[in-house]
Structure formats: structure tokens, C-alpha cells
Amino acid sequence: MLSFDAQFKTKKQIHFYGRSILFMDVTPQVLNSDIPIFIAPGWGETPKTFKDLAHLLFDAGFRVISVTHPRQDLKLITKNNISRLEFQKAEIILAIFESLDINKVNVVAHSEGAINAVIAAHLTPSMFKNILLVGPGGLVENEGFLELTSRFIGNMIQGGSRVFKDSVARMHLLRSGVETFKYFLMNPVMSLLEGSAISRTHLQDFLIELHANDISVGVIHGVDDLVFPLKKMKNLSDLGWIDFREVKGDHSDIYAHPQDFIILIKERFMI
């Protein structure tokens, strides 16, 4: 069996509406769970953003999958008024699972990734067992694009400050910053459209539907999250069946301090 680094460097791909979609798929020699974990990246994030989290999960005995979403708007037909761009990402996620013959998966979804992962589960609920949303988009009330953009810029400034103050998080944050910059430059117009889609998407009805389909839903939220602050979110207490955990840290902590999330993830996915 190849090492984590060797598997991580191996670029796998599927063909999707004429485009090659790259994805990560790493499997340890000894599995502690038959159900793989899919990491749904948020806006500006790729598998490289979550390399260290994936490595920790690999070492804990999990098969880990993630995706590099294309920087083209393929103009797919939407369903039920779902944003075209979020629907595209959801369809890509499902296409990867189909190509790998996966019939059940657990999900760790960060930020915007929460939106397209939940949509994927809405489209094919039988494939999903647990969904853990970390700093999720799609739950802020009365969201506006400019307001979301200003909070995202604030998060970038916060992250830049942490590069100098937090030696443990430094390399994680620098790697994330590079990936976000590349993501934006590859299609700035699409990046802005994605931001608009995030601000207009609301997940609460989808989450209720997933619960009705026996999909376990958890939320981890950082107390210092500037992008999706808890005070602006829809009242999660109305959804009493959600396993809600408030933790120290900000929107970037899942990749800035991935070691802090392993116990929480294992708690949910080793059941």
C-alpha cells in the first residue's frame, strides 16, 4: 500500500460534462471504518487546503476523499431553484462517488462546502450517513452579498494576523492563502458568482429533509468565526436533533489547527 504522501500526489480524475475533474482519494492499509470520509471544501479551498486534516484522518484509519472543483460554470440545469453553481458542485461530488462505486459516505463540509454537500445529500439521500458541517454557509439570516464579502475579507485579515502570531497554524494558513488566491485568479467572475450563490442559499429546509431521511447532522462552530457568525445564523435551537458543538477558534481552524478536530470527527464517524 502506498504512503499517504504518495497517494495524495496521485491525481485521480473523472470526466464530467466534457471537463476533467481532479480529486484526492487516500486509503490506509488498515481501515477502522468501512465508510469513507468526504471533505467538502469551501470557497477558495482545495484538497491541498485540507492535506494535514486528511493525513490525520488517514493515520486514524479512514479512507479520505476530496475534490478540486473546476473553475468553469458549466451552466447545468438546476433542480428546485437550487443555485446553478452549487448544483454543479453537488453533481460533481455525486459523480465522484459513482466512479468509485461508493454507496455510503460520511461528510466533513467546511464553509461553502456545507451548501453543495447538503444539496448532494438532498439529491441522493441514501448515499449519506453522517454530515458534519464546520463553520457552515447557508444558515445566515437576511444575508447580503456585500455583507458576506466584507466578513470574508475580515477573515482574511484575521488569518494574515495569525500567520505572525500563531506558529503552529502558520504553514496551514499560508497554504490556504495560496490556494484561495489561485482559485480566485483562475476565474474571478465565477468566484464572485459563487459568493452571490452562497449569500442567497438557505439550508434549513434541506437539513429538516435530511433528518427525515435518517441522515445524522452535526454542526461545529468557532466562537470567533467572522465569516458566518453564530449571532447571524438561523436559530439552530429550532432543530433540536442537530448535534451542535461550539468550539474555540475561528473560521479557519479546521485547517489551521486540524489536530483539534480529529477527536470530534472520530466521535461522530466511529459510531
C-alpha distances in Å from residue 218, one per residue of 92, 112, 142, 206, 268: 23, 16, 23, 14, 8
- Nearest Cα neighbor of 251 from 218, 224, 215 is 224
Q: For 163-195, how does the pLDDT look when each residue is reduced to its tens digit (9 = 90+)?
A: 566 666 677 777 777 888 888 888 999 888 888
Q: What is the pLDDT of residue 271?
A: 55
Q: For 124-170, how does the pLDDT look when each residue is reduced to its tens digit (9 = 90+)?
A: 999 999 999 999 998 887 677 778 778 877 767 666 666 566 666 67
Q: Give the separation between CA 136 and CA 114, rounded to whole angstroms.
A: 5
The mean of the pLDDT values for the chain is 89
Q: What is the pLDDT of residue 106?
A: 97
Domain boundaries, the chain: 4-269
Amino acid at 140: V
With a cut of 50, list the residues of the chain below it in pLDDT.
none
Q: What is the pLDDT of residue 16?
A: 95
- Nearest Cα neighbor of 85 from 179, 209, 207, 196 is 196
Q: Does domain 4-269 have CATH number 3.10.20.740?
A: no
Can you read off the three cell numbers belonging to residue 217? 447532522
